[in-house]
Amino acid sequence: MLATGKIQLGVASIFTLGAILWFGQGLLSRGQGPAMQGPPPATTLPWRSNKPFKEAGYVGGEACAECHVREFKSYHDAAMARALQTAADSLILKSHARLTFRVGPYSYEIIRDGDRSIYSVSDGKRSIAVPILYSFGQGKAGQTYVLEYKGAFYESRVSYYRALDGLDFTIGYPRTVPSSLEEALGRAISLDETLSCFGCHATASSFGKRLQLEQMIPGVSCEACHGPGRDHIAAMEAGREETRIFNPGKMSPDELSQEFCGSCHRSVEQVLNMPQQGGINNVRFQPYRLFTSRGHDPTDPRLSCVACHNPHEHLREDVAYYDAKCLACHQTKVELGPAARKVALAKDRTAKACPISDRNCVTCHMPKVDLPGAHLKFTDHRIRIARPGEPYPN
Ligand code: HEC
Ligand code: HEC
Ligand code: HEC
Ligand code: HEC
Ligand code: HEC
Ligand code: HEC
Ligand code: HEC
């Protein structure tokens, strides 16, 4: 693992940043740009199986409910659990009878028809209409559709955005008029890209380089992170000692953040291989941002992803919740309340106190960044003294 501080964070010039935003922002943000190393194929991750669905022993998240009531209850409607849905189950598609968008001569429509949603684009003379197969993203920022056209998978050129409650260009596509009806529809995605899209948004979608979408469990289900559960359940029912399931909590903090969460949220290695580290898009790549926070030791368990996020629960959006996380290391100039005192034993708090405030730390030191085209602000995980008006530190 690289050590913090060794990375030179060059200030990207306005020109290079602009170029990235214009050419292939989404391609970069998805880790698929031709000029950069893509994410590792999902099936090479050690906790996943390389065998076909049945043989691998996937049982589905409901099978865990009986014994792990707490995890199951809090997780079933969490964002990651809904990272992919079939068109029939997609909450956003179900609740929108008709969505429309227009650019130049092209008009788009997504029409609900029973259990299906039909995505169509017309140039006034010709039109293409195809059923949506899957929605990607539960729609915190937005939702993109995967379609099938002429035997290939397509990523939709327009996406749903919550802030608009409507459609707009999918992030990363140039905001120009498409040059043909096919181009207006979307972009054909290669097998490798299909494998990684489904690998990050769903469970057991492939083995080796083969897709198994009929069996796949939509969304990031328990077994996407813990591996197939059949042998574990059998062992627990038989009262055996060995649990026979992967527990990422046993990884070192740095491995957990980079190799585990980073396998989908993008690790520091992946981002360092992107041209200009992905530009402002890398605000979406928390493992990289956090790792490059000056003075912060990524091998400290108080700074791993699970120190601030319980992956089985909804994301906490109350800023005060995070104070105790910072104060596990940082001193304060004022006496702490009882809740914070419990987490933060004075002897372990060796990092400096803030001269400005003793609360709501993340509002100033983990600022929200408006990502162009995303219609959502992301939280910059590079913890720092953010100066007003400073350019985005790459
Ligand atoms: C029949 C009951 C039962 C079922 C069903 C079950 N588990 Fe467990 N699980 C256990 C028990 C018992 C333990 C051990 C608890 C302990 O020692 O802390 C455990 C431990 C675990 C651990 C920690 C393992 C370790 O080595 O630290 C994970 C992760 C886990 N279960 C995930 C799952 C998942 C995912 C499912 C569904 C695919 C599942 N379990 C289904 C009973 C069950
Ligand atoms: C198998 C891939 C995968 C892994 C591994 C993974 N994530 Fe995620 N995560 C996702 C996807 C996909 C989303 C986007 C869900 C959406 O909004 O549709 C997401 C979203 C999130 C969110 C945002 C939730 C919200 O409400 O906005 C948090 C927080 C998060 N993940 C934390 C973690 C942490 C912490 C880990 C490691 C313990 C982790 N994730 C591991 C795929 C993954
Ligand atoms: C390397 C893993 C990875 C791959 C590959 C990937 N995603 Fe994601 N995706 C994520 C993670 C993690 C998030 C949550 C953080 C964020 O919004 O960037 C996410 C978020 C999203 C969101 C926003 C979700 C929301 O709730 O706002 C959409 C839409 C999306 N992805 C679509 C896609 C599509 C379509 C593809 C393939 C063409 C794809 N993704 C490929 C990991 C991945
Ligand atoms: C996004 C990845 C992810 C998903 C999805 C996920 N887990 Fe976990 N799980 C983790 C991580 C990371 C840990 C270790 C947490 C820690 O040590 O703080 C963990 C730990 C556990 C443990 C051990 C808890 C303990 O106290 O040691 C159990 C049991 C468990 N998970 C069950 C489940 C079940 C059941 C589901 C589905 C409802 C599920 N997990 C979904 C990432 C995930
Ligand atoms: C020191 C605390 C802290 C740590 C460590 C941390 N996060 Fe976060 N994270 C936050 C805060 C604060 C938010 C914003 C919550 C809100 O207001 O919505 C957030 C939000 C997120 C989101 C939602 C998207 C966004 O940008 O708002 C994702 C995804 C996420 N974190 C993933 C991760 C991953 C992966 C790791 C490990 C590399 C990690 N976080 C480590 C504090 C932390
Ligand atoms: C694992 C312990 C740890 C945690 C957790 C932690 N910090 Fe730090 N932080 C440090 C250390 C060590 C330094 C470097 C020098 C010092 O202040 O002693 C530092 C430095 C800083 C700096 C100054 C950075 C600079 O560029 O000079 C700020 C601001 C800061 N931390 C804020 C936070 C906030 C806000 C949180 C919670 C979101 C947080 N830290 C969480 C240990 C930690
Ligand atoms: C209202 C905004 C704001 C809040 C809230 C805030 N800070 Fe700060 N913090 C600042 C500013 C501005 C500076 C830089 C002060 C300077 O350099 O004059 C700073 C400096 C720091 C430093 C560097 C101190 C040094 O001597 O180098 C640390 C560490 C820090 N803050 C941690 C925290 C922690 C932990 C919290 C929550 C308990 C917090 N901050 C809350 C604005 C804030």
Residue 319 gets the label, from left (phi > 0), alpha (psi -120 to 50) or beta, of alpha
Average pLDDT of the chain?
88
- Name the residue with the closest Cα to ligand 3, atom 14: 265
pLDDT given for residue 7 in this prediction: 35
Spacing, Cα 209 to ligand 5 middle (Å): 31
Q: Where are the beta strands (DSSP E) in the chain?
A: 84-86, 98-103, 106-113, 116-122, 127-136, 142-149, 152-156, 158-161, 166-169, 186-188, 206-207, 210-211, 368-370, 377-379
Ligand nearest to the CA of 321: 5
Distance of CA 47 to the CA centre of its chain: 19
Confidence of residue 143 (pLDDT cuts 50, 70, 90): very high
Find the radius of gyration of the CA atoms of the chain. Answer: 22
Given a contact cutoff of 8 angstroms between Cβ atoms, the answer to whether 372 and 172 are in contact is no
Distance of CA 206 to the CA centre of its chain: 19
* Residues 6+ away with beta carbon under 8 Å from 2: 268, 269
Closest CA to 351 of 308, 301, 295, 289: 295
Confidence of residue 337 (pLDDT cuts 50, 70, 90): low
Given a contact cutoff of 8 angstroms between Cβ atoms, the answer to whether 57 and 228 are in contact is yes
Spacing, Cα 357 to ligand 7 middle (Å): 6
Residues with CB under 6 A from ligand 2: 79-80, 82-83, 137-138, 140, 200-201, 220, 224-225, 260-261, 263-265, 305-306, 309, 311, 315
To 10 degrees, the CA torsion angle through 287, 137, 310, 45?
-60
Q: Is 390 a pocket residue for ligand 7 (Cβ < 6 Å)?
A: no
pLDDT given for residue 192 in this prediction: 94
Confidence of residue 55 (pLDDT cuts 50, 70, 90): very high
Partners of 99 in beta bridges = 110
Given a contact cutoff of 8 angstroms between Cβ atoms, the answer to whether 157 and 188 are in contact is no
* Residues 6+ away with beta carbon under 8 Å from 120: 108, 109, 110, 111, 127, 128, 129, 130
pLDDT given for residue 26 in this prediction: 37
Q: What is the pLDDT of residues 190-243, one digit of tens each?
A: 999 999 999 999 999 999 899 999 999 999 999 999 999 999 999 999 999 999
